[in-house]
Amino acid sequence: MKKSILDLNKMAASGEKIVYLTAYDYLTAKYEERAGVDMILVGDSLGMVQLGYDTTFPVTMDDMVRHCQAVRRGAPDTFIVGDMPYMSYQVSDEQAVANAGRLVKEALVDCIKLEGSGPDILSRVRAISGAGILTMGHIGLTPQFAGQLGGYKAQGKSADAALRLIEAAKDIENAGACSVLVEGVPAIVGREITKRAGIPILGIGAGSYTHGQLLIYADMVGLYDNFQPKFVKKYADIGAELQKAFSGYCNEVRAGAFPVDAEHAYKISDAEANKLMEILGELVP
């Protein structure tokens, strides 16, 4: 049964941890739903872990719609959050509502997510929520602000910076968000944000106290090895398994060891095979 925002609120209130994982394609979403994750984020990390860009900036709304659709097909019974890519919501409230609406209307996501907490972003949260769309905020290490943050660095490491994040989470909640994702902050900051929240707080690299945990699936299964954030735990080494499988295939094809016709080829009756050879024999000069 697909969880609704009311179910997620109840889980947060009762202390039952919410399990949140990214996915970008049909197959991964299918396995995640089978495993029983509560929420799937189709993140704009898509750009880095699936499309091969160095950053998330080049990801477009069309990319997001296409991948959210695939994930929805793979996980029809899971609460799906679609990420708003760079410059899909920064320009105006109208632009933000129209693009959030595309993710809901064309890809059937349950919620959208956007980064930041400044006055313009609070206005976007109000506008998108006002249009009836569940909206998740995202604060802390926000990749779309990496330039201003001076890179992909942990946030909230001074008392002042931590206080600003605690206030930001409250501002986003008050603007109408249904949830806030906190990324890359010390555990104490995740804890204080969570203690004060009236909505579910999800964390990625924000310690153990948040209502739920998110990881980028390609990190936790060992597929994305360009770099590994401190907060990732590797639950599998699928990258190494793929490498082994692909190398085995290369070796066997080159050695003539694959395919083995008795196992991997389609059958033809002896009678038809003999007939074919007779015909071919007559044709051969």
Q: Would you please indicate which residues are annotated as catalytic (active-site) residues?
A: 183
> Which residue, 201 or 216, has its beta carbon nearer to ligand KIV?
216
Q: What residues from 209 to 248 belong to the interface with ligand KIV (CB under 6 A)?
A: 214, 216
Which residues fall within 8 angstroms of residue 74, CB to CB, at 6 or more apart?
23, 25, 26, 27, 28, 29, 30, 32, 33
Q: Is there a contact between 46 and 58 (Cβ–Cβ < 8 Å)?
A: no
> Which residue, 223 or 259, has its beta carbon nearer to ligand KIV?
223
The CB density around residue 180, as the number of other CB atoms within 10 Å, is 31
> Which residue, 130 or 153, has its beta carbon nearer to ligand KIV?
153
Under rule CB under 6 A, residue 183 binds ligand KIV: yes
Instruction: Give me the numbers of helices (H) and strands (E) for the chain, helices first please.
Output: 13, 8
> Which residue, 18 or 41, has its beta carbon nearer to ligand KIV?
41
Under rule CB under 6 A, residue 110 binds ligand KIV: no
Which residues fall within 8 angstroms of residue 59, CB to CB, at 6 or more apart?
44, 46, 47, 51, 53, 85, 86
Cβ-proximal residue to ligand KIV, closest one: 43
Shortest gap between Cβ of 272 and ligand KIV (angstroms)?
Answer: 55
DSSP 42: E
Q: How many residues bind ligand KIV (CB under 6 A)?
A: 12
CA–CA separation, 235 and 218 (whole Å): 10
Shortest gap between Cβ of 41 and ligand KIV (angstroms)?
Answer: 6
Residue selected from 8, 23, 204, 206 as contacting ligand KIV according to rule CB under 6 A:
204
The CB density around residue 114, as the number of other CB atoms within 10 Å, is 25
Q: What residues from 38 to 57 belong to the interface with ligand KIV (CB under 6 A)?
A: 41, 43-45
Closest among 10, 13, 12, 31 to 21, alpha carbons compared: 31
Shortest gap between Cβ of 84 and ligand KIV (angstroms)?
Answer: 10
Shortest gap between Cβ of 140 and ligand KIV (angstroms)?
Answer: 9
Closest among 132, 25, 144, 18 to 75, alpha carbons compared: 25
Shortest gap between Cβ of 184 and ligand KIV (angstroms)?
Answer: 9
**Footprint of ligand KIV (CB under 6 A):** 22, 41, 43-45, 83, 138, 181, 183, 204, 214, 216
